[in-house]
Amino acid sequence: MAISIKSEEEIELMRLSGRLASEVLDYITPFVKPGATTGELDALCHDFMVDVQKVIPAPLNYAPPGYKPFPKSICTSVNHQICHGIPGPKKLKNGDILNIDVTIIKNGYHGDTSRMFLVGKPSIAAKRLVNVAYEAMWEGIRAVKPGAFLGDVGHVIQRFAENHNYSVVREFCGHGIGKKFHEPPQVLHYGTNGTGAVLEKGMTFTIEPMINLGKRDVKEMPDGWTIVTRDRSLSAQWEHTILVTEDGYEVMTVSENNPDKYLQQ
């Protein structure tokens, strides 16, 4: 299946969806603290999305082939959980690290982004992992331009993470996005320069590297969704939706309180 090239009208709609997804993360930030449950965070985000933003939470009841419907409106992955964590009753504790992944649908188009949150005062090792994962995402973003290869994006992410003695999860990757939650291409966070699809103006996809403190091996939990590190080491992930522009890239998931807003300048 071909990689879709978005029209100017579609790009405007995706800018709106991207901003709204990012604003959900702005909204939930003050509620992320010791004692809060991920289920409570999900309920707050759901109500904000549905009642205030008037958008559809894309994860709710999402069921790709082979999966049962996802039961919540956001993904919350704590500590050694890599991705697709299901919000629930367990309370966050001081020192936890948390990824909140938000995808919304507005006017038929998806906006997809995630951030890491430090709960209380995590260890130096945990904070360093979170920071390196963040920089790894940006290494990948900065490799985006027309004529570059998808393999270039994965290569710089892998090199950066492994140079800091971390590992890159290979079973899950970024993805094309637009009218569909997941569409071509797959955006691997490892790879070789000069391989994969050639990037063209108008492509939209996510870059969302999952970086582990220990080995890269993963395991699926019995709930059928939550993915964890096999060695129970910490994992961190950041995600943006990216547009390939005429001379580089545009980050589409930007809002007023985005932690990396300064990097857009």
Q: Is residue 210 part of a domain?
A: yes
User: Which structural domain, as residue segments, surrounds residue 148?
Assistant: 8-254
Q: Is residue 157 part of a domain?
A: yes
Average of per-residue pLDDT across 124-150: 97
pLDDT for residue 259? 78
137 class by beta-carbon count within 10 Å (0-12 exposed, 13-18 middle, 19+ buried): buried
Name the amino acid, one letter, at 224.
Answer: G
pTM value surpassing 0.85: yes
Average of per-residue pLDDT across 161-173: 98
Q: Is residue 259 part of a domain?
A: no
Checking if the pLDDT of 70 tops 70, the result is yes
For residue 90, what is the domain's CATH number? Answer: 3.90.230.10
Q: Is residue 121 part of a domain?
A: yes
Count of CB atoms within 10 A of residue 189's CB?
26
pLDDT for residue 157? 98
pLDDT for residue 234? 98
Output the CA angle 247-17-76, nearest 5 degrees: 110
Count of CB atoms within 10 A of residue 3's CB?
17
For residues 228 and 145, what is the distance between their CA atoms, to the nearest angstrom? 33
Count of CB atoms within 10 A of residue 206's CB?
23
Q: Is residue 260 part of a domain?
A: no
Pairing of strands 97-106, 167-168: unpaired
pLDDT digits (tens, 9 = 90+) for 168-178: 999 999 999 99
Our count of domains for the chain comes to 1
Q: Is residue 139 part of a domain?
A: yes
Q: Is residue 209 part of a domain?
A: yes
Q: State the DSSP string of 159-206.
A: HHHHHTT-EE--S--EEE-SSSSSEEEEE-SS--TT-SPBP-TT-EEE
Q: Is residue 263 part of a domain?
A: no
pLDDT digits (tens, 9 = 90+) for 175-207: 999 999 999 999 999 999 999 999 999 999 999
For residues 141 and 243, what is the distance between their CA atoms, to the nearest angstrom? 10
Q: State the DSSP string of 23-70.
A: HHHHHHGGG-STT-BHHHHHHHHHHIIIIII--EETTTT---TT-PPP
The residues with which 102 forms a beta bridge, in sequence order, are 113
pLDDT for residue 245? 98
